[in-house]
A and B are shown apart, each in its own frame.
Chain A
Amino acid sequence: AQSVTQPDIHITVSEGASLELRCNYSYGATPYLFWYVQSPGQGLQLLLKYFSGDTLVQGIKGFEAEFKRSQSSFNLRKPSVHWSDAAEYFCAVGGDTDKLIFGTGTRLQVFP
């Protein structure tokens, strides 16, 4: 079955600290992987995506993610978190059919 797991429902970090949000997927074909961010009351904004090639992808706002096929993971990282990064983060997997399967999300809180 196709699925996305985000094990961490809620993460709290201090401003300036590093961040890693976990994402594991189950997908029968070659996965296309995405990270979206949703700020309160807003729609979803794409942070980054992986289709093929270099397994370390850079996104907007200083985020990066690494695709590890052997671990079926696509973890999101940021070396230094800013207070404005507080939001809900969703990992998603898709393929040629364009249908996206989303994880349950990780809510990030940032303390000053």
Chain B
Amino acid sequence: SAVISQKPSRDICQRGTSLTIQCQVDSQVTMMFWYRQQPGQSLTLIATANQGSEATYESGFVIDKFPISRPNLTFSTLTVSNMSPEDSSIYLCSVDRLAGSHNEQFFGPGTRLTVL
């Protein structure tokens, strides 16, 4: 398994501000993923972050709103920019790790964001 930590675990922010969420993994991984889970909803992939290249964003998500950094193989950040109440969600990072003969995704505990 993988040990994944996220900071902060939760935050309450004002409209128009930005928040950077950190994701730390206990060992080197190639691919890291950022998901959003809106209240009462399922998980939606925001982007895939590979070290040494720009993040790949899913439809409906743009770099200006959700800039991502991936400075090394154990760390990534997601910034939620110019926040509005609609950005209130749980943000989760996950990593791929080889488990047996296939890759498996392990998730961090999530960051619960409330935007007032």
Contacts and interface: CB of A to CB of B under 8 A. Distances in A.
A45 B104 CA distance: 11
Interface residues of A, number: 20
Contacts of A42: 109-110
A43 B109 contact: yes
A44 interface: yes
A50 to B, nearest CB: 10
Main secondary structure, interface of B, reads strand
A98 B109 contact: no
Interface residues of B, number: 23
A104 B110 contact: no
Given A36-B107, A46-B106, A51-B101, 7 more contacts: A43-B4, A44-B92, A90-B42, A98-B105, A100-B43, A100-B105, A102-B42
